[in-house]
Structures are given as structure tokens and as C-alpha cells.
Amino acid sequence: MKISVLVALLMAFVSVASAANFNQDIAVTWGDGRGKILDNGQLLTLTLDKFSGSGFQSKNEYLFGKIDMSIKLVPGNSAGTVTTYYLRSQGTTWDEVDFEFLGNLSGDPYTVHTNVYCGGKGDREQQFRLWFDPTKDFHTYSLLWNPQRIIFSVDGTPIREFKNLESAGVPFPKRQPMRVYSSLWNADDWATRGGLIKTDWSQAPFTASYRNYRADACVWSSGKSSCSSSSPSRNAWLSQELDVGSQRRLRWVQKNYMIYNYCTDTKRFPQGLPKECTAL
């Protein structure tokens, strides 16, 4: 086998990651011991108390990928807490793709807050309820990011699609590599009912749990991507789109579980809705 072919195959292989070991792939970056990697790297927990929250990030940066994480959210009275799981680049004109889980009083549903930033500008919020209790068990939250679209999914069901509409003048994040981040922190000035419900510190510490991190992605290192154009079948997610069944499930979620959509908020945008809301 020629060396060039072998190198191309090895580079293509790098983009296909198996279920990760947190010790190998994740760094707990803040929280002074409140973030813990357990069970030989198979489980990670983040904790919030009155003094601090905690957070982690991926050791690798990625330029496109499909990122999966199984999360069990803070149970009980989680009002005022926010658990985040997102992609973000560096700098003042960063790109970012967000999942944020806004806690609530016991028995009341979580709010799933999503947003897309490009060049440091966001304001593209959509919010959802879930069709299950996300504190009882682990559920998989996925971000598919390729040059054509970003798809947010829960247990394989798409809840949001943000398409590349650069042809209509809408910025799309595709030039800046991003890391995976997650955090658990106190945001009781806004997170629950606009800040009306405060964190009940008698319930602390609050804990969110993570497992089954998978990054099937193009690792970006030293200005180069690990993905090889010679093996597109290994990187099928690079051109993945929603099939008919997935589109049907997306409409079901948005009809029954979406509680806010910036694309219908005419009071917020009196001068006209953002371009991507009318270009579809």
C-alpha cells in the first residue's frame, strides 16, 4: 500500500470516534473539585453549590461533526439552575451552538433553550419542553454540524434545524473550529420564570450527570482537519440532511413542544423578522 493512501486512510479514521473515555477526551476546567470523572472515565458529574458551579470542555477542537452526549439533568427543585451543553469557538467574534436546560420547581418541566451564534451575534432562540422527565434517566442530546445545516436532536428526534442560508445573506458558522463545553451554574436572575423563582440553596448540592460522549467529527489541529475527502463514506454526516421521517418528527416536536420561536416574535423584531425566518 502506498504511503500516501495509508496516510489518507488514517486521517479519515480519526474522524470516526467511538464512545469516548472522559479521562482521555474531556478536561474539567473549573469548579474547584465540583466536576468529577468517575467509573474509569465512563461517568462525569458536575455539581453546583452556593459557592460555585463547575464545567468541562473537550480536549479537541472540531470543524464540523456530530456530537452526542447522554445527560441526566438536576432532579427535584432545580429552579434557578442552568445546565449547558454547547459548541463554541474562541475570540470576540465567536461562533456557538447551544443547548441550555433551564431548571424549574419540582414537578414543573424543564425548558430546553437553543441558540445559534455566528460572528458573535446570536438572538436566534428557540425553546422547547420535553416529552419525558429528563431527570429520571440519561437521554442523548446531539448536535449535527456540517457545512449545510445544524440539527439539534434529542434521543435521535430532531427538534430544530438551522440551515446554511448564506446565499440569502444569513451568516453560518463554518470557518471557526469549536470545542464542546458544558457547565452547571446558578442563573436565578433570569433562568426560571424570568428570574421570579430563585434557587433554593437548601436543596444543594445540585448535580448533573454525563456519559456516552461521542464525537464523530473532524478534529482541527495546527490549522488542518483530520477529515479526508478521499473517504466520504466514513464521514456521511458531512452531507447528512433530514429524511422524510425525520422531517415529520421535527414538525411533531415543533407543533407540540415548542414554546418560543424568534422567527414568529414580531414584537421583538418590529422592523422585520431576521432573514433566515423569511428565506425558507
Q: Which are the catalytic amino acids?
A: 96, 100
Long-range contacts made by residues 129-136, C-beta under 8 angstroms, separation at least 24?
A: 129/257, 129/259, 130/154, 130/257, 131/256, 131/257, 134/71, 134/72, 134/73, 134/101, 134/110, 135/72, 135/73, 135/74, 135/75, 135/76, 135/78, 135/110, 136/72, 136/75
- By CB atoms closer than 10 A (0-12, 13-18, 19+), residue 20 is buried
H helix runs in the chain, sequence order: 3-14, 22-25, 244-256, 275-278
Residue 72: what are its φ and ψ, rounded to 5°? -115, 115
Residue 264: what are its φ and ψ, rounded to 5°? -115, 5
On the CB side of 215, CA atoms within 13 Å amount to 28
Cell 472522559: give the residue.
Answer: 22
Residue 232: what are its φ and ψ, rounded to 5°? -65, -25
Cell, residue 186 = 446558578
Cell 434545524: give the residue.
Answer: 161
The terminus-to-terminus CA distance of the chain in angstroms comes to: 48
Is 94 in contact with 197 (CB distance < 8 Å)?
no
